[in-house]
């Protein structure tokens, strides 16, 4: 959030973020940055986890997150945990998200949907290194639990966007 605020102070309207695990090619981040979508649109990258060889555990947890967030947001969401996104900065700051880590991504989607913010979903390419070379800080039990907690608490917090 500090980075988002600093970018707004410098006059930027949007920014692209990507996970640091090396799965997102730089050209995909550049492509998202240059999309003709309006600046006030939240753009979610959508991976093809099966085609691109994501671990089965990631495919499973992502499908649960997609169903869960689709239900609570009222929108059909195809990849709620993709780490490649374009955020509309003023609108995101206005939503006042509270979550750090992986729960931030879920909270932003839910708050954006509730506020009526446009959400575009764009297919992207990803690269998964061989299993022995993969780096991930995602904890398969703790992080989904945090995400579920944040989604439920955000959904119940009707006073916030």
What's the number of domains the chain is made of? 1
Say if 125 falls within a structural domain.
yes
Whether 161 is in a domain gets the answer no
Q: What is the C-alpha separation between 52 and 31, in angstroms, rounded?
A: 19
At 9, which CATH number? 3.90.550.10
Burial, 159: exposed, middle or buried (Cβ in 10 Å; 0-12, 13-18, 19+)?
Answer: exposed
Q: 152-159: long-range contacts at Cβ-Cβ below 8 A with a sequence spacing of 24 or more? A: 154/107, 154/110, 154/111, 155/72, 155/110
Please indicate, yes or no, if residue 11 is contained in any of the structural domains: yes
Q: How high is the pLDDT of residue 100?
A: 78
| Residue range of the domain that includes 106 | 2-129+137-156
Evaluate whether residue 31 is within a structural domain: yes
Write down the pLDDT at residue 161. Answer: 47
Domain assignment present for residue 80? The answer is yes
3-class DSSP assignment, residue 53: coil
Residue 160 has what pLDDT? 47
Q: Is residue 119 part of a domain?
A: yes
Q: Is residue 108 within 8 Å of residue 42, measured between CB atoms?
A: yes
Q: Quote the crossing angle between the two packed helices 142-156 and 102-115, to the nearest 10°.
A: 20
Low-confidence ranges of the chain (pLDDT < 50): 160-161
pLDDT of residue 150: 74
Are the CB atoms for 21 and 83 separated by under 8 Å?
Answer: yes
């Amino acid at each position: 959030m500090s980075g988002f605020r600093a970018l707004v102070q410098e006059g930027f309207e949007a920014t692209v973020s990507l996970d640091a695990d090396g799965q997102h090619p730089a050209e995909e981040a550049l492509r998202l940055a240059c999309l003709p979508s309006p600046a006030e649109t939240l753009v979610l990258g959508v991976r093809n986890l099966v085609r691109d060889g994501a671990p089965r555990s990631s495919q499973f947890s992502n499908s649960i997150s997609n169903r869960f967030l689709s239900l609570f947001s009222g929108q059909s969401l195809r990849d709620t945990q993709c780490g490649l996104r374009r955020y509309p900065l003023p609108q995101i700051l206005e939503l006042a998200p509270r979550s750090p880590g992986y729960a931030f991504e879920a909270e932003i989607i839910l708050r954006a949907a509730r506020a009526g913010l446009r959400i575009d979903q764009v297919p992207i390419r990803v690269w998964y290194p061989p299993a022995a070379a993969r780096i991930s800080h995602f904890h398969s039990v703790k992080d989904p639990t945090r995400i579920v907690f944040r989604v439920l608490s955000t959904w119940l917090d009707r006073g916030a966007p």
